[in-house]
Structure formats: structure tokens, C-alpha cells
Amino acid sequence: MTSIEDYMASLADRLRPGSGSGGPVIALMEMAGDLPAMDPALKTDDTLFHGCQSRVWLDLRADQDTGTVRVAADSDARIMRGLLSIAVSLYDGRSFGEVAATPPDRLREAGLIELLAPSRANGFHRLLKHIHGYGAALAAERAELS
């Protein structure tokens, strides 16, 4: 797994205008193919994330043995699947502390938010905040137990 810093640098390169044949929006849509498949059994009303334009399923789990956050996600919209691929790459398998130390605003560094319509950017930001808050709560809980 690459570090968050390395991932952010590669994401910025991938989204930089002129970096690919189709530009940053096409690159974002191509990232939909990078999203790991979500177990269909996890696509329930309980995992349906409200606040996005499209249907989004988000399953967050804590692996207490390894101290990591597990993120599974899917959407019925291709561009959202590309965004979810970024969220999963950014947070899945990271320690509670790493998730807590990586707020959603970090994606502004890659130029991602500027590519999105305001309503999509707001929904994606809410989703990232939710994941970040989950990791921060786990990190705080672990610190209390130590």
C-alpha cells in the first residue's frame, strides 16, 4: 500500500489537465474501473449513504486486530464510482490514526473538488467527512484504552 502522501501526488498527476488523452474528468470516470467490487450482500438500506445525487452504498468496518479501517463502496453512477475509488484508495486499510489525520479537505490539493459540480462536490465531501469521522472516533477510542 502506498503512503497517503504518495497517493495524493499520483492522484494530482492523474487529474492534472493535459496529463491524459481525455483530461481530468475522463480520468475520474476511468477510475471507476479501479473501484474494488463491493459484496452485493452489503448493498442494503443500512449501507445506503444519503446525501449524494446518485445511489451510494458505503460499508465501514473497524479491524480491531490490525487497527485499520475497512471501506467498501459502490454507486449506480460511473462518475461517483470514480470518486468512491478515490475514497477507498485514500482510506481503506489505513490505521485509525491515519484516517483521523487525513481530513477530506486534503483532496483539494489534488484539484479534485474544482472538477465537480457543487452538488456532487458537497455530497462527496459529506461522504469523506463520514469516513474521516469514523476513523477519528476509532482513533480516540483506541487512545482512551491505551
Q: Which residues are catalytic?
A: 52
CB 73 within 8 A of CB 39: no
Q: Which residues contact 38 (CB under 8 A, 6 or more apart)?
A: 57, 59, 72, 73, 74
C-beta of residue 38 within 8 angstroms of C-beta of residue 4: no
- Calculate the dihedral angle through the C-alpha atoms of 56, 62, 63, 69, rounding to the nearest 10 degrees: 60
